[in-house]
């Protein structure tokens, strides 16, 4: 039954006329309640176990939406009336509301009351729109209550006393109450809800007061969006994302042009044409940044916003700062040294706000106004240096002293020097580990609430009373490798989420081959597409590894149990089995498919290496699976060693072929944070040790990933999820080439092969750290690897530069990466289609949808990397702040270390401290303009004088004292200390102690992690030569970076993941490419179209 009513909609359109919209009413509009037996169930439903439903009126839905977002409030019923009200009033809040409704976690639904025959009410002739809206919401609540046979009360909340009076008790079972009263009486144990309501209320009042007051304009007005868009099309304005120089956030910002996309090339072409005509070109400049100097020119743009800029006249162009910046420290402007003039502009309008939640702290009392009962207006200082202070009104200023809080920005008017915002919630006392970890999560936009009931309900059970076991029916459909294959896993010590295992079988027969297997946890078996677990995993996109904890992508019953390939237990797997030539290890054949396996050994990298090297092994603790008599043990150990030897051999052969094609061997500098007995203290920071077996396992995973990528691409072409690594931008190699040159090495960057060969030669240097540091600099120049849909990028750009593979994807870690789950589903669909079974292929995302998911995965992956780095930094600072008792006993201050100079700047040098794999800056000029000077006892102090900075060295020339020279790769002794900041994360400071290095006692063997690899790479090169001589071609595909993503899997270690870190260190940023990768558009964060006035 369908009833049509015409509803007149007054819409101001171009013609100025009235538009009549047809409005259809139906009976079959679902109520989305689990209690209902009549309606169709589509999408989310409100659980049957709720005590009441909560429905906000239009004002509450608009102004207090953020309170409704609190995860504790459940059973939310948004009426279509309220939904539309939000949509009309604020684009930013509308997007928030949609996100809330779409979120798999939140317990809220949208009820299309205006289309439901029984729930809809017509507007009365004399009725105001607002009155009708309220009546419409109320009527919907009443209908809902009756529709569910009055089994559950419905509470409508409002902030209008008149509404309470009118409807308050008009219907039994439907309650209309003030929002404040509701929160206090229904949620007494969630006091933050009422506080939050108060904070939002304050912000609203403030805004009203301000809008009545005429005030002086601080900034130019923004141009309207249509003017901006026309200007961009015409090439008058340039569109880009604003990013602040973290070290000079008050002064220097850059607008990075949106990357060249085939669809949107107007402004870019304009810009390129302009470059090519020689108007501006400098070999040292980055081609697509526009410099924006000062707050006026920045015109209220906030880090991350998409803006339109207008270039200034060429005579007004300036250079970017080349001075070492230090967060929180202000250098004397006259001391600044600047690069060549570059395009300089001013922001004329905002295309899209990219505001998010900001961690901040209130100013100390003496800086703020006097305490009182009334709301105070305070300038909250954000944790992120790049974000301006945010003005908030709060009545709790005294209570919030030294507490980290979350604030949101509401608006930034041209009459206001600072943005206006509101207090959201308190995180805890600044400096507490839990507070700091919470701050990192918020700053990186990571949401890791406990898994919901619905998600856990979807999981299989495994308990002592009902243990999980493989299903014989399922086993019948899989290849059973439990008895036929010796399977083992190699992971970091204590690893719980084992998602890959390996096998080697020697097939004796006529053709004499080896079968090598990579077995990956079959996660998709347990995660139905579109279910609550799947949606949650997609939203998280990855497991987040912190220095002291991790936040899993999947519930632990999967990640550390049923999908973890533990030894001695039957597990479902997805396997890749290669048949290899016994001599050459060339791939003759490959098989992909679902299997059931039982791993025999769960080895740590260290144990596996010890088995290979014939080292001493504590059987009981290291390989408990090896039980039995001593003879049996030896026999089985021999068998294991044989298998590991073959595996190593195969990996070497594969690596050799890829290296022959130009694979890069890059360096990250990953550290392990060691925790002492005392909670919250750090006992040590050590660089992770590289073993050959790391590379062997990485090699096998790289092999599986690339074979899967090629297999998928062959069948799916357009919608394969791939991981590509674009070639680096040549202009970023400056620091590397310069550092190489200083040691007599020419670094050829023309291709990955040339670069790889150049870097290889640097190993001959008498100082092994030179090669190590050059590799770090090479890594620094790399772009980020990215997920993409094969349809969105031309095929020649799908390659992986670092691994030098024509095609790559992520298949091997589905427990901790959502990309791998999607790739598993793609491969399953391809295999099913081959067997004539098309059922599975329906669930695959493709086209724009796949591209959107890829972007989301890229953003989350980057957030995970940054958060991990933040957390390591946090503990590093703790380490250098706390005096470590163990170190004190040995009478050596653990904060004194050897360091190597690896870059020269105008006012100092950048150094690398191998013992901690740490980089830092040494300022040779202090705040007063004095320069470092050498004292008679060999120590350093600051004196008046000057610095002379050259390409490979810097000379300090004090007016009264000895001059000294620091050259690239000179050793010095430094003192590392942690400086505490009230508003921001603590930072490390490096001070020059002596000009000579700390004697080599401080240097550990693992200071040069490339050493175990040297032997291997030489072997690989030898084989490559043999291959070339014999005219053999590579079957595994192009080369890899041997220390790939997979090697330090427990802590997301791989090289490409480090790139972000290098970009972030920012000390490197100054001369070259600042902030290139810091532009992260957080999809999960609130955004708003430039609706300044909302």
Nearer to Zn ion, 39 or 121 (CB): 39
Nearer to Zn ion, 28 or 1026 (CB): 28
Nearer to Zn ion, 32 or 298 (CB): 32
Nearer to Zn ion, 39 or 1083 (CB): 39
Q: How far is the CB of 144 from Zn ion (least distance, A)?
A: 9
3-state SS assignment for residue 955: strand
Nearer to Zn ion, 31 or 664 (CB): 31
As a whole number of angstroms, the distance between CA 278 and CA 280 comes to 5
As a whole number of angstroms, the distance between CA 369 and CA 397 comes to 10
Q: How far is the CB of 49 from Zn ion (least distance, A)?
A: 17
Answer for which of 23, 25, 35, 39 binds Zn ion (CB under 5 A) is 39
Rg (CA), the chain: 31
338 DSSP 8-state letter: B
As a whole number of angstroms, the distance between CA 862 and CA 75 comes to 34
As a whole number of angstroms, the distance between CA 1014 and CA 1024 comes to 15
The answer for residues whose C-beta is within 8 angstroms of residue 868's C-beta and 6 or more apart is 544, 545, 546, 547, 1051, 1052
Of 501, 477, 529, which Cα lies nearest the Cα of 853? Answer: 529
| Residue 150 Cα to chain centre, angstroms | 47
Q: Give the footprint of Zn ion on residues 860-899 (CB under 5 A).
A: none
Nearer to Zn ion, 147 or 404 (CB): 147
Beta bridge partners of 934: 940, 962
Are 913 and 976 within 8 A, CB to CB?
Answer: yes
Q: Give the footprint of Zn ion on residues 90-109 (CB under 5 A).
A: none
Q: How far is the CB of 78 from Zn ion (least distance, A)?
A: 16
Q: Give the footprint of Zn ion on residues 283-322 (CB under 5 A).
A: none
Q: Give the footprint of Zn ion on residues 597-636 (CB under 5 A).
A: none
Give me the helices (H) in 108-224, please.
129-147, 161-167, 179-186, 191-212
Of 424, 421, 429, 423, which Cα lies nearest the Cα of 403? Answer: 429
Extract the tokens encoding 411.
């608006």
Q: How far is the CB of 148 from Zn ion (least distance, A)?
A: 7
Q: How far is the CB of 87 from Zn ion (least distance, A)?
A: 24
Nearer to Zn ion, 46 or 350 (CB): 46
Give me the helices (H) in 729-840, please.
734-742, 752-761, 768-781, 818-834
Could you tell me the CA-to-CA distances from 8 to 24, 117, 120, 348, 665 in Å, in that order? Answer: 13, 18, 15, 39, 69
Nearer to Zn ion, 39 or 1065 (CB): 39
| Residues near Zn ion (CB under 5 A), total | 3
Extract the tokens encoding 888.
């004190």
Are 347 and 308 within 8 A, CB to CB?
Answer: yes
Q: Give the footprint of Zn ion on residues 7-36 (CB under 5 A).
A: 31, 36
Nearer to Zn ion, 144 or 451 (CB): 144
Are 760 and 1040 within 8 A, CB to CB?
Answer: no
Q: How far is the CB of 103 from Zn ion (least distance, A)?
A: 22
User: Quick count: other Cβ atoms within 10 Å of Cβ 844?
Assistant: 18
SS3 content of the chain, % helix, strand, coil (to 5): 35, 25, 40
Question: Per rule CB under 5 A, is residue 67 in the interface with Zn ion?
Answer: no
Q: How far is the CB of 97 from Zn ion (least distance, A)?
A: 22
**Sheet containing 76-79, strands listed edge to edge, beginning at the edge strand earlier in sequence:** 108-111, 76-79, 53-56, 154-158, 174-178
| Residue 199 Cα to chain centre, angstroms | 30
Q: How far is the CB of 153 from Zn ion (least distance, A)?
A: 16
Q: How far is the CB of 33 from Zn ion (least distance, A)?
A: 6
Q: How far is the CB of 134 from Zn ion (least distance, A)?
A: 23
Q: How far is the CB of 25 from Zn ion (least distance, A)?
A: 16
Which span sits near Zn ion by CB under 5 A: 38-46, 640-648, 948-956, 962-970?
Answer: 38-46
- Pairing state of beta strands 987-994 and 1088-1089? unpaired
Which span sits near Zn ion by CB under 5 A: 39-47, 526-534, 775-783, 970-978?
Answer: 39-47
Return the residue matching tokens 């700390």.
Answer: 998
Nearer to Zn ion, 142 or 347 (CB): 142
Q: How far is the CB of 543 from Zn ion (least distance, A)?
A: 38
As a whole number of angstroms, the distance between CA 920 and CA 911 comes to 5
Of 127, 111, 110, 131, which Cα lies nearest the Cα of 119? Answer: 111
Q: How far is the CB of 174 from Zn ion (least distance, A)?
A: 16
Q: Give the footprint of Zn ion on residues 711-730 (CB under 5 A).
A: none
The torsion angles phi and psi of 315, rounded to 5 degrees, stand at -65, -20
Nearer to Zn ion, 39 or 50 (CB): 39
Nearer to Zn ion, 151 or 250 (CB): 151
Nearer to Zn ion, 39 or 220 (CB): 39
Nearer to Zn ion, 31 or 424 (CB): 31
In our burial notation (b when 16+ CB lie closer than 10 A, e otherwise), range 883-903 reads: ebeebeeeeeebbbbbbbbbb
Nearer to Zn ion, 111 or 545 (CB): 111
Q: How far is the CB of 36 from Zn ion (least distance, A)?
A: 3
Q: How far is the CB of 38 from Zn ion (least distance, A)?
A: 5
- Contact string 794-823 vs Zn ion (x = CB under 5 A): ------------------------------
The answer for residues whose C-beta is within 8 angstroms of residue 612's C-beta and 6 or more apart is 641, 644, 645, 648, 692, 693
Extract the tokens encoding 580.
């290899």
Q: Which residues bind Zn ion (CB under 5 A)?
A: 31, 36, 39
């Amino acid at each position: 039954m369908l009833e049509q009513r015409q509803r007149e909609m007054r819409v101001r359109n171009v013609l100025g006329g009235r538009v009549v919209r047809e409005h259809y009413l139906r009976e079959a509009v679902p109520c989305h309640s689990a209690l209902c037996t009549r309606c169709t169930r589509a999408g989310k439903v409100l659980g049957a176990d709720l005590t009441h439903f909560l429905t906000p009126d239009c004002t509450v839905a608009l102004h207090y939406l953020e309170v409704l977002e609190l995860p504790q409030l459940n059973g939310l019923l948004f009426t279509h009336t309220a939904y539309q009200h939000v949509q009309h009033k604020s684009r930013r809040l509308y997007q928030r509301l949609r996100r809330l409704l779409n979120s798999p976690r939140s317990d809220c639904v949208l009820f299309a009351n205006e289309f439901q025959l029984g729930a809809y009410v017509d507007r009365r002739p004399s009725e105001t729109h607002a009155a009708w809206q309220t009546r419409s919401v109320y009527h919907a609540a009443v209908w809902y209550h009756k529709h569910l046979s009055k089994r559950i009360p419905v509470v409508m909340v409002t902030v209008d006393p008149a509404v309470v009076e009118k409807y308050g008790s008009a219907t039994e079972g439907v309650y209309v109450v003030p929002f404040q009263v509701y929160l206090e009486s229904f949620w007494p144990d969630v006091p933050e809800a009422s506080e939050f309501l108060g904070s939002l209320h304050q912000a609203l009042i403030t805004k009203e007061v301000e809008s009545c007051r005429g005030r002086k304009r601080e900034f130019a007005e923004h141009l309207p969006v249509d003017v901006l868009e026309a200007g961009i099309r015409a090439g008058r304005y340039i569109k880009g994302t604003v990013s602040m120089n973290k070290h000079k956030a008050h002064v220097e910002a850059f607008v990075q042009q949106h990357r060249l996309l085939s669809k949107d090339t107007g402004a870019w072409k304009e810009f390129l044409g302009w470059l090519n005509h020689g108007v501006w070109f400098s070999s040292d400049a980055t081609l697509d940044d526009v410099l924006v100097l000062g707050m006026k020119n920045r015109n209220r743009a906030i880090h991350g916003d998409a803006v339109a800029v207008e270039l200034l006249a060429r005579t007004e162009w300036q250079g970017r700062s080349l001075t070492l910046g230090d967060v929180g420290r202000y250098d004397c402007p006259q001391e600044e040294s600047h690069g060549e003039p570059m395009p300089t502009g001013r922001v004329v309008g905002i295309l899209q706000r990219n505001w998010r939640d900001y961690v901040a702290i209130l100013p100390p009392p003496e800086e703020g106004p006097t305490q009182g009962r009334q709301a105070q207006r305070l300038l909250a200082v954000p944790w992120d240096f790049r974000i301006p202070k945010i003005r908030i009104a709060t009545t709790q200023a005294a209570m919030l002293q030294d507490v980290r809080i979350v604030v949101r920005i509401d608006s930034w008017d041209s009459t206001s020097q600072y943005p206006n915002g509101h207090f959201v919630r308190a995180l805890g006392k600044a400096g507490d580990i839990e507070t700091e970890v919470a701050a990192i999560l918020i700053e990186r936009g990571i949401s890791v609430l406990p898994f919901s009931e619905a998600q856990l309900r979807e999981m299989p059970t495994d308990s002592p009373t009902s243990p999980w076991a493989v299903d014989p029916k399922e086993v019948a459909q899989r290849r059973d490798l439990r008895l036929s294959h010796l399977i083992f896993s190699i992971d970091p010590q204590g690893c719980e989420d084992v998602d890959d295992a390996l096998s080697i079988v020697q097939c004796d027969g006529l053709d004499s081959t080896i079968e090598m297997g990579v077995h990956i946890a079959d996660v998709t078996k347990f995660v139905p597409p579109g279910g609550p677990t799947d949606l949650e995993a997609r939203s998280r996109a990855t497991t987040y590894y912190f220095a002291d904890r991790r936040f899993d992508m999947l519930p632990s019953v999967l990640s550390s149990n049923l999908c973890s390939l533990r030894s001695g237990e039957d597990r479902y797997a997805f396997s890749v089995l290669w048949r290899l030539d016994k001599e050459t290890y060339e791939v003759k054949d490959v098989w992909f498919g679902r299997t059931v396996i039982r791993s025999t050994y769960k080895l740590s990298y260290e144990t596996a290496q010890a088995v290979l090297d014939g080292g001493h092994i504590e059987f009981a603790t290291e390989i408990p699976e090896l039980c039995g008599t001593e003879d049996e043990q030896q026999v089985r150990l021999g068998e294991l060693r044989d298998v590991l030897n073959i595996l190593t051999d195969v990996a070497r052969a594969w690596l050799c072929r890829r290296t022959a094609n130009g694979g890069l061997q890059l360096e990250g500098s990953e550290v392990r944070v060691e925790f002492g007995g005392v909670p919250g203290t750090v006992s040590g920071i050590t660089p992770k040790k590289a073993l050959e077996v790391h590379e062997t396992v990485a090699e096998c995973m790289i092999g599986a990933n690339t074979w899967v990528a090629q297999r998928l691409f062959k069948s799916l072409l357009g919608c394969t999820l791939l991981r590509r690594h674009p070639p680096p931008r040549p202009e970023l190699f400056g620091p590397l080439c310069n550092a190489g040159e200083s040691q007599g090495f020419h670094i050829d960057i023309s291709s990955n092969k040339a670069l790889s060969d150049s870097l290889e030669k640097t190993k001959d240097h008498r100082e092994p750290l030179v090669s190590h540091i050059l590799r770090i600099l090479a890594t620094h120049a790399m772009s980020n690897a990215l997920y993409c849909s094969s349809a969105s990028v031309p095929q020649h750009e799908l390659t992986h530069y670092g691994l030098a593979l024509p095609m790559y994807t992520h298949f091997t870690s589905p427990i901790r990466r959502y990309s791998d789950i999607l790739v598993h589903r793609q491969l399953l669909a391809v295999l099913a289609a081959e067997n004539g079974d098309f059922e599975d292929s329906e669930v695959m995302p493709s086209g724009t949808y796949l591209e959107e998911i890829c972007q989301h995965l890229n953003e989350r992956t980057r957030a995970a990397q940054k958060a991990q780095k933040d957390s390591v930094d946090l503990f590093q600072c703790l380490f250098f702040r706390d005096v470590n008792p163990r170190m004190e006993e040995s009478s050596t201050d653990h904060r004194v270390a050897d360091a190597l100079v690896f870059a020269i700047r105008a006012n100092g040098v950048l150094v690398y401290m191998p013992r901690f794999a740490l980089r830092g800056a040494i300022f040779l000029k202090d705040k007063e303009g004095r320069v470092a000077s050498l004292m008679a006892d060999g120590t350093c102090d600051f004196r008046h004088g000057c610095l002379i900075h050259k390409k490979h060295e810097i000379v300090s020339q004090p007016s009264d004292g000895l001059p000294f020279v620091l050259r690239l790769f000179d050793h010095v002794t430094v003192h590392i200390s942690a400086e505490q900041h009230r508003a921001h994360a603590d930072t490390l400071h490096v001070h020059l102690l002596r000009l000579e290095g700390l004697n080599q006692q401080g240097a550990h063997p693992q200071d040069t992690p490339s050493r175990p690899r040297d032997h291997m790479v030489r072997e690989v090169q030898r084989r490559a030569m043999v291959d070339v001589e014999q005219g053999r071609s590579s079957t595994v595909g192009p080369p890899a970076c041997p220390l790939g993503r997979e090697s330090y899997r427990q802590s997301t270690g791989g090289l490409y993941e480090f790139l972000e870190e290098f970009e972030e260190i920012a000390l490197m940023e100054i001369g070259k490419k600042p902030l290139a990768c810091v532009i992260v558009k957080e999809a999960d964060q609130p955004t708003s179209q430039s609706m300044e006035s909302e």
